[in-house]
Amino acid sequence: MGTSSGPKLSGMQKQVLSLYRGFLRAARLKSPEDRRQIESIVSAEFRRNSQQVDRKNFLYIEYLLRRGKKQLDQLKSPDTVGMSSLYLNLHQPTNHKP
């Protein structure tokens, strides 16, 4: 993954971490089971992208950030219980697994 430690975080890294934090905060407001489910989906997605996405592919990372922010806004709505439906809908078109 090559996540930097000592050196300062780039602006884009900060945005990604802030988005991750936002998801974890939003998850706190859901029921305990939903929270656990949301956390595991979100964490898996961030980790998958941190390993698979080229760190210099700024355009794609910016796209992912924008998509993530939209998903986060939807998750924040009290009507949204979990992520699964939300996630599948938004995830499919860009899922480039074989």
Residues of the shown chain interacting with another protein in the complex, contacts defined by CB under 8 A: 1, 3-6, 9, 13-14, 17-18, 20-21, 24-25, 28, 43, 46-47, 50
Which candidate, 11, 71, 7, places its Cα nearest to that of 41?
Answer: 71
The CB-of-98 to another protein minimum distance in angstroms stands at 25
Torsion-angle region of 2 (φ positive above 0: left; ψ -120 to 50: alpha; else: beta):
left
The CB-of-38 to another protein minimum distance in angstroms stands at 13
Q: Is the Cβ–Cβ distance between 61 and 12 less than 8 Å?
A: yes
Residue closer to another protein (CB basis): 24 or 90: 24
- Determine how many CB atoms are found less than 10 A away from the CB of residue 23: 21
Residue closer to another protein (CB basis): 3 or 92: 3
Which candidate, 25, 51, 19, places its Cα nearest to that of 39?
Answer: 25
Rounded Cα distance, 60 and 58, in Å: 5
The CB-of-17 to another protein minimum distance in angstroms stands at 5
Residue closer to another protein (CB basis): 32 or 98: 32
The CB-of-1 to another protein minimum distance in angstroms stands at 6
